[in-house]
Structure 1
Amino acid sequence: MPLQLQPNFHYADISKQQGLREHVAGDDFYQMLIDAHRDLSDEDSSKLNAKLILLLANHIGELDTLAQALSLAAGKKA
Protein backbone atom coordinates (compact mmCIF):
# COMPACT_ATOMS: atom_id res chain seq x y z
CA MET A 1 0.00 0.00 0.00
CA PRO A 2 1.64 3.27 -1.04
CA LEU A 3 1.81 6.06 1.50
CA GLN A 4 -1.03 8.56 1.05
CA LEU A 5 0.58 12.00 0.75
CA GLN A 6 -2.48 13.97 -0.34
CA PRO A 7 -4.93 15.26 2.28
CA ASN A 8 -7.09 12.30 3.27
CA PHE A 9 -8.98 13.44 6.37
CA HIS A 10 -12.67 12.69 6.24
CA TYR A 11 -15.58 11.66 8.39
CA ALA A 12 -16.81 8.07 8.32
CA ASP A 13 -20.34 9.51 8.24
CA ILE A 14 -20.27 11.50 4.98
CA SER A 15 -23.34 13.48 6.07
CA LYS A 16 -21.09 15.32 8.57
CA GLN A 17 -18.90 16.48 5.68
CA GLN A 18 -21.69 17.79 3.45
CA GLY A 19 -21.79 21.55 3.24
CA LEU A 20 -18.42 21.92 4.97
CA ARG A 21 -15.25 23.16 3.34
CA GLU A 22 -13.05 20.36 2.04
CA HIS A 23 -10.35 20.55 4.71
CA VAL A 24 -12.58 20.85 7.77
CA ALA A 25 -11.97 17.24 8.85
CA GLY A 26 -8.20 17.89 8.87
CA ASP A 27 -8.73 21.04 10.91
CA ASP A 28 -10.95 19.08 13.30
CA PHE A 29 -8.27 16.43 13.77
CA TYR A 30 -5.65 19.09 14.43
CA GLN A 31 -7.90 20.61 17.10
CA MET A 32 -8.43 17.18 18.69
CA LEU A 33 -4.65 16.67 18.76
CA ILE A 34 -4.05 20.06 20.37
CA ASP A 35 -6.82 19.41 22.90
CA ALA A 36 -5.36 16.00 23.79
CA HIS A 37 -2.00 17.64 24.61
CA ARG A 38 -3.45 20.55 26.56
CA ASP A 39 -2.22 20.70 30.17
CA LEU A 40 0.15 17.73 29.74
CA SER A 41 3.72 17.85 30.92
CA ASP A 42 6.41 17.46 28.25
CA GLU A 43 6.92 13.86 29.37
CA ASP A 44 3.20 13.01 29.23
CA SER A 45 2.91 14.74 25.86
CA SER A 46 5.76 12.60 24.51
CA LYS A 47 4.08 9.47 25.88
CA LEU A 48 0.81 10.43 24.19
CA ASN A 49 2.64 10.93 20.88
CA ALA A 50 4.39 7.57 21.19
CA LYS A 51 1.15 5.75 21.96
CA LEU A 52 -0.64 7.48 19.09
CA ILE A 53 2.15 6.59 16.65
CA LEU A 54 2.06 2.93 17.69
CA LEU A 55 -1.73 2.73 17.48
CA LEU A 56 -1.80 4.28 14.00
CA ALA A 57 1.19 2.24 12.82
CA ASN A 58 -0.61 -0.92 13.91
CA HIS A 59 -3.71 0.23 12.05
CA ILE A 60 -1.67 0.75 8.85
CA GLY A 61 0.23 -2.49 9.41
CA GLU A 62 2.06 -2.59 6.07
CA LEU A 63 5.79 -2.37 6.85
CA ASP A 64 6.80 -0.92 3.47
CA THR A 65 4.32 1.94 3.98
CA LEU A 66 5.55 2.51 7.53
CA ALA A 67 9.18 2.52 6.35
CA GLN A 68 8.30 5.13 3.72
CA ALA A 69 6.55 7.27 6.36
CA LEU A 70 9.53 7.02 8.70
CA SER A 71 11.94 8.02 5.95
CA LEU A 72 9.84 11.02 4.96
CA ALA A 73 9.37 12.11 8.57
CA ALA A 74 13.14 11.90 9.12
CA GLY A 75 13.72 14.12 6.08
CA LYS A 76 15.14 11.33 3.98
CA LYS A 77 14.17 10.54 0.41
CA ALA A 78 11.60 7.72 0.44
Structure 2
Amino acid sequence: MEIRIGLSQVGREVVVEVADDDATRAQLKTAVSAALAGASDTLWLTDKKGREVAVPGSKIAFVEFGSPDSARKIGFGD
Protein backbone atom coordinates (compact mmCIF):
# COMPACT_ATOMS: atom_id res chain seq x y z
CA MET A 1 0.00 0.00 0.00
CA GLU A 2 1.30 3.43 -0.88
CA ILE A 3 1.09 6.24 1.65
CA ARG A 4 1.52 9.85 0.50
CA ILE A 5 2.21 12.50 3.11
CA GLY A 6 2.07 16.19 2.29
CA LEU A 7 4.12 18.51 4.48
CA SER A 8 3.39 22.17 5.09
CA GLN A 9 5.78 24.54 3.32
CA VAL A 10 7.43 21.68 1.38
CA GLY A 11 6.88 21.27 -2.35
CA ARG A 12 7.27 17.48 -2.48
CA GLU A 13 5.27 14.71 -0.90
CA VAL A 14 6.77 11.88 1.13
CA VAL A 15 5.78 8.55 -0.43
CA VAL A 16 6.23 5.32 1.52
CA GLU A 17 5.32 1.81 0.33
CA VAL A 18 4.22 -0.33 3.30
CA ALA A 19 2.78 -3.81 3.84
CA ASP A 20 -0.83 -4.07 2.75
CA ASP A 21 -3.07 -5.70 5.34
CA ASP A 22 -5.93 -4.56 7.56
CA ALA A 23 -3.88 -4.63 10.77
CA THR A 24 -1.16 -2.43 9.28
CA ARG A 25 -3.74 -0.01 7.89
CA ALA A 26 -5.43 0.29 11.31
CA GLN A 27 -2.09 0.82 13.08
CA LEU A 28 -1.07 3.49 10.60
CA LYS A 29 -4.37 5.34 10.94
CA THR A 30 -3.96 5.33 14.72
CA ALA A 31 -0.37 6.60 14.46
CA VAL A 32 -1.33 9.33 11.97
CA SER A 33 -4.26 10.43 14.14
CA ALA A 34 -1.97 10.65 17.19
CA ALA A 35 0.56 12.73 15.25
CA LEU A 36 -2.12 15.08 13.92
CA ALA A 37 -3.66 15.49 17.38
CA GLY A 38 -0.27 16.37 18.86
CA ALA A 39 -0.11 13.25 21.03
CA SER A 40 3.20 12.27 19.39
CA ASP A 41 5.80 14.64 17.97
CA THR A 42 6.99 12.31 15.22
CA LEU A 43 5.24 9.88 12.89
CA TRP A 44 7.50 6.88 12.27
CA LEU A 45 6.84 4.65 9.26
CA THR A 46 8.65 1.48 8.17
CA ASP A 47 8.53 0.62 4.48
CA LYS A 48 8.51 -2.81 2.83
CA LYS A 49 12.32 -2.91 2.71
CA GLY A 50 12.68 -2.15 6.42
CA ARG A 51 13.75 1.49 6.04
CA GLU A 52 12.34 3.85 8.64
CA VAL A 53 11.00 7.30 7.83
CA ALA A 54 10.36 10.01 10.42
CA VAL A 55 7.85 12.77 9.70
CA PRO A 56 7.38 15.69 12.12
CA GLY A 57 3.76 15.59 13.28
CA SER A 58 3.46 19.39 13.38
CA LYS A 59 4.34 19.64 9.67
CA ILE A 60 1.84 17.09 8.31
CA ALA A 61 -0.62 18.76 5.92
CA PHE A 62 -2.37 15.62 4.64
CA VAL A 63 -2.04 11.84 4.53
CA GLU A 64 -3.38 9.71 1.67
CA PHE A 65 -3.67 5.94 1.96
CA GLY A 66 -3.68 3.99 -1.31
CA SER A 67 -6.49 1.52 -1.88
CA PRO A 68 -5.82 -1.97 -0.53
CA ASP A 69 -6.01 -3.62 -3.93
CA SER A 70 -4.09 -1.01 -5.89
CA ALA A 71 -1.26 -2.45 -7.92
CA ARG A 72 1.31 -0.46 -9.80
CA LYS A 73 0.17 0.00 -13.36
CA ILE A 74 2.63 0.13 -16.20
CA GLY A 75 1.81 1.58 -19.59
CA PHE A 76 -1.32 3.27 -20.85
CA GLY A 77 -3.95 0.66 -19.95
CA ASP A 78 -6.47 0.68 -17.12
Q: Same fold (TM over 0.5)?
A: no
Which structure dedicates a bigger proportion of its chain to helix? 1
Which structure dedicates a bigger proportion of its chain to strand? 2
Larger Cα Rg: Structure 1 or Structure 2?
1
Tell which has more relative contact order, 1 or 2 (C-alpha 8 A, sep 6+).
Answer: 2
Q: Report the TM-score when normalising by structure 1.
A: 0.31
